[in-house]
Amino acid sequence: MIGMRRFIFIFVASVIAPTFAFAGLLEDAKDTFAPLPEKPVFKAGNPGNPEKLELGKMLYFETRLSKSNVFSCNSCHNLAGGGVDNNTLSTGHQWKVGGRNAPTVWNAALHISQFWDGRARDVEAQAQGPILADVEMAATKELVMARLLSIPEYVERFSRAFAGQKKPMNYENIANAIGAFERTLLTPSRFDKFLKGDESALTAREKKGLRTFMDSGCAGCHNGVVVGGGSYQQFGVVNTPENLTDKGRFGVTGDKDDMHVFKVPSLRNITLTYPYFSDGNVWDLGEVVRIMGWTQLGAKLTDEEVGDILAFFDSLMGDLPDIVLPKLPASGKSTPKPDRG
């Protein structure tokens, strides 16, 4: 039988010691990260009125924004999951494949820019891209405008969503409505509760992982409100990754300092947004942590460290908001037909 003195020792060791072990953790975390905003942050000049948010949701699920009427935003940024398609590369028009792994739409509006290479300044700018991309939705501005203008309900909805504008129905406003909707896609997690002062929101293992995550240097880039998404960094700053062919932000700026530079991905909901890296070739999150430790920090993380960090990632799994499917209006007689060619 266990003796009373030994019992007291174990009790003290298991209850009191972790409290000491995590002394200062919350303060350090607050210096490094920030909780998600309570409400969506809309872009100046593109306020998120309810009419616009509903229109944006409709357009997000609107397959008529693709040439074939097969794909919508939600095809690759699936709100029934991690806001991604969980494929290495995305499938688009005529079974073509995209060039990079689809990033998540959850909390995307809080990144400093959009796309892996940051070539769009915000979600409103981003939303203009895939509709026109040959390997994605393969439409033209003229085609999607002709489709939407032929549907009286859309004409009315754009008028209400962009009330006061002379010509509310235009290509930029398609993206403005989608972008405004995307700004509502926030996923607060237990980590936010922790950052707001609830130290019981994380388990001991998760706290240990958070400590490791900060102390080993991961939080040097993966920090701020979305635990990443706030800066551009070279992939392979210490050690060169295997099979890295993507030139990253060099393709945007042409600056050789931007070779293999990417926007740092957010780690919120990271357990749902596999596979990983811009090429989508790594499926195991532990392997990702190991690779990042080696290439970015020159550290060979131990199994325990990796396990602790993965535990911390669990606390970043957010509450995905309920998304009610929109009810899309019928096409009219003059609506341009789908074209698979």
- The CA distance from 188 to 274, in Å, is 19
Do the beta carbons of residue 188 and residue 110 sit within 8 Å?
no
75 lies in the site for a second copy, by CB under 8 A: yes
User: Tokens 């996923």 — which residue?
Assistant: 187
Of 215 and 284, the one with the shorter C-beta distance to a second copy is 284
Could you tell me if 128 and 175 are in contact, meaning their C-beta atoms sit under 8 angstroms apart?
yes
Catalytic annotation present for 136: yes
Q: Is the peptide bond before 275 cis (omega within 30 degrees of 0)?
A: yes
Q: What is the CA radius of gyration of the chain?
A: 23
**Contact partners, residue 264, CB within 8 Å, separation at least 6:** 221, 222, 228, 229, 230, 231, 232, 233
Query: Which residue in the set 63, 150, 159, 203 belongs to the binding site for a second copy (CB under 8 A)?
Result: 63
Stretch that binds a second copy, among 39-47, 166-174, 224-232, 323-331 (CB under 8 A): 323-331
And the tokens for 201?
A: 């929101």
**326 makes contact with a second copy (CB under 8 A):** yes
Please check whether residue 104 is in contact with residue 187, taking contact to mean a CB–CB distance below 8 angstroms: no
- What's the CA gap between 275 and 254, in Å, rounded? 28
Rounded-to-integer distance, Cα 262 and Cα 273, Å? 17
* Residue 278 Cβ vs a second copy, minimum distance, rounded to whole Å: 18
Contact between 330 and a second copy by CB under 8 A: the answer reads yes
- Contact stretch for a second copy (CB under 8 A) within 121-129, 215-223, 239-247, 271-279: 271-279
**Beta carbon of residue 330, minimum distance to a second copy (angstroms, whole number):** 5
Among 16, 146, 238, 325, binds a second copy (CB under 8 A): 325
State the minimum distance, in angstroms, from the CB of residue 21 to a second copy: 30
The CA distance from 174 to 64, in Å, is 12
* Catalytic site residue from 136, 182, 206, 305: 136
Binds a second copy (CB under 8 A): choice among 1, 24, 44, 95: 95
Question: Which CB sits closer to a second copy, 14 or 334?
Answer: 334
CB of 256 to a second copy, least distance (A): 35
Catalytic residues: 136
Give the residues lining the site for a second copy (CB under 8 A).
61, 63, 68-70, 75, 78-82, 85-88, 91, 94-95, 97, 271-272, 274, 283-284, 320, 322-328, 330-331, 333, 337-338, 340
